[in-house]
Amino acid sequence: MIRETTFEEILERYGKLVYKTKGVSMLPMLRQNRDLVIIEKPEGRLKKYDVALYKRGSKYVLHRIIAVRENDYVIIGDNTYSYEYGISDKNIIGVLKAFVRDGKEINIENKKYRVYVHFWRTVYPIRFLYKKIRGILGKIKRKIFKNT
């Protein structure tokens, strides 16, 4: 017997899942097809800065919780700029425990990792502004080139 299974089933059966990552939304921490994530089944509610694996429709998403609210979480990718609301514990399948980067396993308790998370969240307004300015400059540049 051979069949395709789901992340939920693997986590339910074995309590742990090791998988590659897809997409750029968790950059600079997780690089697509290069880094591995180690996910475990959550016990109880998640905490601020936990990285949650959850289902949005039929898609699996791995993003960071930045606020824990009574009925849901506020979630955002390290490389995205819009907050997601309305994801609650029933949508959450797993939580990141560690990741493997360049062959080195980094646990979420790791000090350097904690520093990265706090730094990256603190500079969010600067990152956001930088992205906006770059967008506006790009628009101006396109306009100038169009007129010449």
Partner 1 sequence: MKLKNGFITQNIDDTQIMVAAGDLQFNGIVRSNATAAFIVNLLKSDTTEQNIVNALYEKYDAPKEQISADVKSILNKLRTIGALEE
Binding stretches for partner 1 (CB under 8 A): 1-7, 9-10, 13-14, 18-20, 22, 33
* Closer residue to partner 1 (CB): 39 or 117: 39
- What is the nearest approach in angstroms of partner 1 to the Cβ of residue 81? 25
d(CA 40, CA 17): 6
Whether the ω angle into residue 28 lies within 30 degrees of 0, i.e. cis, is yes
- Closest to partner 1 by CB, 22 vs 114, is 22
Min dist CB 40 to partner 1, Å, is 14
Spatial CA neighbour of 117 closest among 61, 73, 84, 78: 78
Q: Which is nearer to partner 1, 1 or 144 (CB)?
A: 1
Nearer to partner 1, 62 or 117 (CB): 62
Q: How far is the CB of 103 from partner 1 (least distance, A)?
A: 13
Largest CA distance in the chain: 65
Q: Helices 124-147 and 111-122: crossing angle, nearest 10°?
A: 50
In the complex, the smallest distance separating the C-beta of residue 66 from partner 1, rounded to whole angstroms, is 27
Residue 84 beta carbon to partner 1: minimum distance, rounded to whole angstroms: 21
List of residues 6+ apart from 29 with CB closer than 8 A: 35, 78, 99, 116, 120
Output 3 or 112, the one with its CB closest to partner 1.
3
Q: Give, for 122, the enclosing helix (H) or strand (E).
A: helix 111-122
